[in-house]
Amino acid sequence: EKGGYDHFMLKEIYEQPSVIKDTYRGRLLVNDGIIKMSGVDDNLEKFLNAKRILIVACGTSWHAGLVAEYIIEEFSRIPVEVEYASEFRYRNPIINKDDVVIAISQSGETADTLAAIKLAKENGAFVFGVCNVVGSSISRETHAGAYTHAGPEIGVASTKAFTTQITILTLIALRLAKAKGTMSNSDYQRYLLELELIPEKVQEALLTNDVTKQIAEIYKDATNCLYLGRGYNFPVALEGALKLKEISYIHAEGYPAAEMKHGPIALIDEHMPVIVIAPNKGHYDKVVSNIQEIKSRSGKIIAVVTKGDTQVKELADHVIEIPEATEALTPLLTTIPLQLLSYHIAVLRGCNVDQPRNLAKSVTVE
């Protein structure tokens, strides 16, 4: 049932090219130049009249929400706030009738997310679900939604759920951008084409398996790790750190790269591996300066770079190359080697990768 893989987690990591495709199939219609999502199309007025979009989720799903914040605001210029469902539900939040709430959950059973949805509904908001499990409690509690088509995710550490959530949320952002006219038609068509190429690129990103395994051998005994990224890849840094913590029990933290000098830089020495997500887009030059700052304090750099990169390659101790992509879509690629790195480190440390200690696949109690 593990399809020849040693663990469900690895199988699920490798399924990503096909499940991303399954998730946009029938929705991303490149030839017609449109995105069709009945849950959004049928409620388009609600989305277009929304003064803001509130995203509620936990764990990895919350990280997908953060990526969505960057993408939705950039594409459709609707203000987005992302909240931990557990905080939202207990802090007497301001919810308006013209808010759209998007709840993200792989299992569709997370207690805090479910409670946040109920609260939002009581206050008259329109609630849209992004779930993976068909017929789950959250999919039933929400007014409308769109399923991710990741298939069953058995590994406790979420992998393919994350990338399919980002896929759905990117489709929503594009659909809204088109409806609002916040993106030029040529950019819109370019994104549709680019999105269709993502599964192939994820396949290529999976070729980093060998290099991540070699890097894992070197750093498997680390006690701490720092993950840095900026912009669209800041949430990927958070997710990379979560993945390492939960399956290898190594303490890890994700940070926006520029925040390093506001504290975490004090931790840097020759024992501190720093994983830097540095694709050749957006804030590349600034990330290069951050890398220099780490190197001058003897930190060890593992950098995720775009194929053909030369600048970071000169500075970093190790580089992991991913294919070129438009900036907003890079999280779908940069995530892959980070999943593999955590996986290999956990295996080398003899950890129970699919069922890490103290964790449950779905957290149905608060």
Q: What is the spatial distance between Cα 292 and Cα 14, in angstroms, rounded to a whole number?
A: 33
Smaller CB distance to ligand M6R: residue 94 or 134? Answer: 134
Interface with ligand M6R, residue 216, by CB under 6 A: no
Q: Which helix (H) or strand (E) is 225 found in, with range? A: strand 224-229
Interface with ligand M6R, residue 106, by CB under 6 A: yes
Q: Which helix (H) or strand (E) is 226 found in, with range? A: strand 224-229
Q: What is the spatial distance between Cα 364 and Cα 366, in angstroms, rounded to a whole number?
A: 7
Smaller CB distance to ligand M6R: residue 56 or 215? Answer: 56
CB 57 within 8 A of CB 113: yes
The residue of the chain with the least Cβ separation from ligand M6R equals 59
Smaller CB distance to ligand M6R: residue 16 or 158? Answer: 158
CB 341 within 8 A of CB 250: no
Interface with ligand M6R, residue 363, by CB under 6 A: yes
Smaller CB distance to ligand M6R: residue 156 or 275? Answer: 156
Interface with ligand M6R, residue 334, by CB under 6 A: no
Distance in Å, CB of 133 to ligand M6R, minimum = 8
Interface with ligand M6R, residue 59, by CB under 6 A: yes
Q: Which of 170, 251, 228, 218 is nearest to 348 (CA)?
A: 218
Smaller CB distance to ligand M6R: residue 229 or 299? Answer: 229
Distance in Å, CB of 255 to ligand M6R, minimum = 18
Start-end of H helices in 181-233: 185-205, 209-219
Distance in Å, CB of 136 to ligand M6R, minimum = 9
Which residue among 13, 55, 58, 329 contacts ligand M6R (CB under 6 A)? 58
Interface with ligand M6R, residue 56, by CB under 6 A: no
Site string for ligand M6R, 227-266 (x = CB under 6 A): ---------------x---x--------------------
CB atoms within 10 A of CB 224: 13
The dihedral formed by the CA atoms of 15, 17, 22 and 23, expressed in degrees to the nearest 10: 100
Interface with ligand M6R, residue 107, by CB under 6 A: yes
Q: What is the spatial distance between Cα 41 and Cα 99, in angstroms, rounded to a whole number?
A: 17
CB 128 within 8 A of CB 43: yes
Which residue among 16, 61, 163, 167 contacts ligand M6R (CB under 6 A)? 61
Pairing relationship of beta strands 52-57 and 80-84 according to DSSP bridges: parallel
- Which stretch, 30-38, 105-113, 204-212, 218-226, contacts ligand M6R (CB under 6 A)? 105-113
Which residue among 18, 326, 355, 362 contacts ligand M6R (CB under 6 A)? 362
Which residue among 16, 23, 76, 105 contacts ligand M6R (CB under 6 A)? 105
Q: Which of 1, 4, 18, 13 is nearest to 200 (CA)?
A: 18
Q: What is the spatial distance between Cα 26 and Cα 278, in angstroms, rounded to a whole number?
A: 33
Binding residue count for ligand M6R, defined by CB under 6 A: 17
Backbone angles phi, psi at 150, to 5 degrees: -80, -15
213 contact partners, CB below 8 Å, separation of at least 6: 340, 344
Q: Count how many residues are written for the chain.
A: 366
Active site residue 361: yes
Site string for ligand M6R, 145-164 (x = CB under 6 A): -----------xxx------
Residue 118, strand partner residues: none
Which one is catalytic: 121, 213, 286, 361?
361
Interface with ligand M6R, residue 110, by CB under 6 A: yes
Q: What is the spatial distance between Cα 274 and Cα 295, in angstroms, rounded to a whole number?
A: 10
Q: Which of residues 153-212 bind ligand M6R (CB under 6 A)?
A: 156-158
| List of residues contacting ligand M6R (CB under 6 A) | 58-61, 105-107, 110, 113, 156-158, 242, 246, 359, 362-363
Q: Which are the catalytic amino acids? A: 361
